[in-house]
Structure 1
Amino acid sequence: MDPNPQEHGPIPINWADDAEDPGHIPILDFSPYSLLKGAVDEDQLQPLATQLVQAFSTVGFVYLRNHGIPAALVSRTFELADKFFALPEEVKTKFSRPADKSHGWVCLERERVTMERPGDLKEAFNVRPPHATEKLWPNEEVPEFQQASLQLYDKCRQLSLRIIELMARGLNIQDKAGLLSMHSMIGTGPNGSLMRTLRYPPVPEQVKEGQIRCGEHTDYGSITLLFQDNVAGLEVQNCDGEYVPAPPIPNTVVVNIGDLMQRWTSDKLKSTSHRVLLPETEEGRKTARRSIAFFAHPNMDAVITCLDGSNKYPPITAGEYLKQRLTATYDVS
């Protein structure tokens, strides 16, 4: 890995210049490598790769426009997830995530991503195709939920691989194919990649001390894709250590680096802490918030060693690392 990913020259980043300005998070035009793109112009990929690495090595987050995942598919998945979350709890319980699997419903306060806080005020439906038995899909209650979720999962898989390839280009990694091959089993085999539809319900009258919608945390894997609805709440830690809003921007996907990728790149790319606070206004507290997150991971047997040969971190398999993080997250007393 070249220590200077900017050898091709600095590329200006398109910052928002309107009321949707997310401040410190760049907005990039992904159209040169959009999923809708037919023939790809190789000359356009390197500048985009450089932009990505600039953002991921400083902020750790970007917004992508023109990524190629149909907005209608995202909206449809949100709508069907709403129908699932609106079901009575005793019905949703039938589809609960088993202790030894990642697929299924996760009830309110089941997760605690910040150990110093109570369980998060959110519920989720996890989609992990290798674990998704028919019994864990609400096919009678919400008939089209499975189809839409799996379609969106696959679109996220495709986009994640394109982003990872561009990151390898931007970092001047020689074995780009090798890096991609370590993600080859996403959605089909021993690989921890997961899509989650998330719902943050209206805030109850009484909340536990220190409880918020999602505690401060970093993500575990390679990269994360996040689709937000039109309700704000996400905050990202900036370079000064302050949390600042990452507001919803229509028809964009938010992408951030996970801990394993930071480790893999010897801290060249940054896994940035983020959270979802409770709304401050009465109106906001009465409003539910939704998002869809796709967590791209390497194959379970992939051995993560520092790509620059520095041995800054000892080797670890992606599966073992994920197991450690999940154990901590679900250990809710």
Structure 2
Amino acid sequence: MEISILDFEVYELGKSHVSADKLEKLSTGLRTAFTEMGFVYLKNTGIDQEEVDKVMSISKKFFCLPEDMKRPFSRGNFSCNVNHGWVSVETESLNPRRPGDLKEAFNTTTLRMDINWPSEGVDDFRAVQSSFFLRCKELSLRVLRVMAISLGLDPEVFLNAHKYIGSENANGTTLRSLYYPQVKSVKDGQLRCGEHSDYGSITLVFQSPEGGLQVLNRNGEYISAPCIPGAVLINIADLMQRWTSDVYVSAVHRVLLPPDGDTNTRQSLAFFVQPDDEAIISCCDGSDKYSPVKSVDYLLSRFKDSYSK
């Protein structure tokens, strides 16, 4: 079974008037993809490949800077937000049972202009990251609306819990630029990114052509999730699974090491959509399959696991 490709053109960014029957048809396709796999490719979203390439280009310039130029922007150095900033190679273990992941990242979790953003050698870094963050936000809200329709719910039910995306004191949504450097030495059991599920509502993923991303399907088998230029890969995350009482299940995924002799680097952009910090996530069908949980509490507990080393 492969990951479905769904055409999002009827509700792409920039379109304001969409008929109810077209949204219903789109929601049916989305529900099928998310119940069968937990992942889906969306094409014709309004975010084009040129936009993605621009973010990846400025991000790579940052990642290629000497470490002493990146260190001042480290995650944990920003009092306004615990998750904002640079994460060095092997700092994070998304599967805590494995050694640190062979990747580095820059988390854009706040859009504030009055903090210290990378600039030397990476002109427009803040502007490019912030602009793409807002584009992803707009697309995410459209996807969440269609998801609500797919479940027969009020179209606003998920949107009402995502009102503060981009506000660092009220919502943890993060645009994460990821860089996987050349693999030179590997510890036992180490991967570029260990097996994990995402934490929030949904995640938008954009990839460079180099492979490695794998998704665990419903049969317990890992399948490849390659880059499809111009398309965005979207997956269900943990809080959405709780919210929907397992109608939509958060799919485990990982990034493998490259084949022996492959010296290519890899990049991706992940937009992790998180409900507002104070949102209480409880089963939308009224059941008690999962106990209610505050969004920020769940997020911080997962951070603790990933950064415990």
Please tell me the TM-score bracket, short chain as reference.
over 0.9
Q: Is structure 2 residue 75 aligned with structure 1 residue 94?
A: no
Select which of 212, 231, 237 maps to 1:258.
237
**Partner amino acid, structure 1, of 2:74:** S
1:131 Cα offset (Å):
6.6
Match of 1:81 in 2: 59
2:188 pairs, out of 209, 223, 234, with 209
Instruction: Return 5+ residue gaps in structure 2 as ranges.
Output: none
User: Against the structure 1 CA distance between its residues 278 and 133, is the aligned structure 2 distance closer, same or farther, given a 3 Å change threshold?
Assistant: farther
- Correspondent of 2:285 among 286, 296, 308: 308
The answer to whether residue 109 in structure 2 is matched with residue 128 in structure 1 is yes
Q: Among residues 242, 247, 253, which one is paired with 2:221 in the alignment? A: 242
Cα deviation, 1:89-120, whole Å, max 9, x if unaligned, reads: 01100111116611110000000011210000
SS of match in other structure, 2:194: strand
Query: Alignment identity in percent?
Result: 47
**Contact residue 49 and residue 229 of structure 2 kept, 8 A:** no
Matched, 1:69 2:40: no
2:128 maps to 1:151: no
Query: Corresponding residue for 1:296?
Result: 273
Name the amino acid aligned to 2:72.
K
Amino acid of the structure 2 residue aligned with 1:194: T
Specify which of 87, 90, 113 is matched with residue 109 of structure 1.
90
Q: How does 1:9-28 map to 2 (within 5 A)?
A: 23-28=1-6
**What residue identity is the alignment partner of 2:127?**
Q
Q: Return the offset for 1:43.
A: 1.9
Residue number in structure 2 paired with 1:32:
10
Choose which of 199, 209, 212 in structure 2 pairs with 1:233.
212
Amino acid at match of 2:239: L
- Give me the TM-score of the superposition, normalised by structure 1: 0.89
Secondary structure of the structure 1 residue equivalent to 2:156: helix
In structure 2, how many angstroms separate the alpha carbons of the residues matched to 1:70 and 1:257? Answer: 22
Conserved? CA contact 1:216–1:274, under 8 Å: yes
3-state SS in 2 of match to 1:64? strand
**CA-CA distance at 1:55 after TM superposition:** 1.0
Instruction: State the 1:129 CA deviation.
Output: 1.6
1:36 CA displacement: 3.1
- Mapped to 2, the partners of 1:36 and 1:28 lie a distance apart of 18
Query: Compared with structure 1, are the counterparts of its residues 328 and 310 closer, same or farther at alpha carbon in structure 2 (3 Å cutoff)?
Result: same
Structure 1 residues 156-203: Cα deviation after superposition (integer angstroms, max 9, x where no partner): 000000000000000001x33232111010002410100100000010
Deviation string 1:261-307 (CA, Å, 9 cap, x unpaired) is 0011001101110000101241x2x1000000000010000011100
RMSD: 1.3
Matched, 1:59 2:40: no
Aligned to 1:7: none
Q: Give secondary structure in 1 for the equivalent of 2:60.
A: helix
Aligned-partner Cα distance in 2 for 1:318–1:78: 29
Out of 56-65 and 96-105, give the one that drifted further. 96-105
Q: How do 1:185-204 and structure 2 match up within 5 A?
A: 185-188=164-167, 189-204=169-184
Q: Residue type matched to 2:100 in 1? A: G
SS at match of 1:177: coil
Matched residue SS, 1:226: strand
**8 Å contact kept, 2:6–2:42:** yes
Q: How far does residue 133 in structure 1 lie from its aligned partner after superposition?
A: 4.8
SS at 1:75 equivalent: helix
Q: Could you list the runs of 5+ residues in structure 1 that have no partner in the other structure?
A: 1-22
For 2:299, the aligned partner's letter is L
Deviations 1:18-75 (A, max 9, x none): xxxxx52000000011003243232211011111111111200000000111322211
**Pairwise CA distance, 1:140:** 3.0
Count of aligned residue pairs for this structure pair: 305
Letter in 2 for 1:107: S
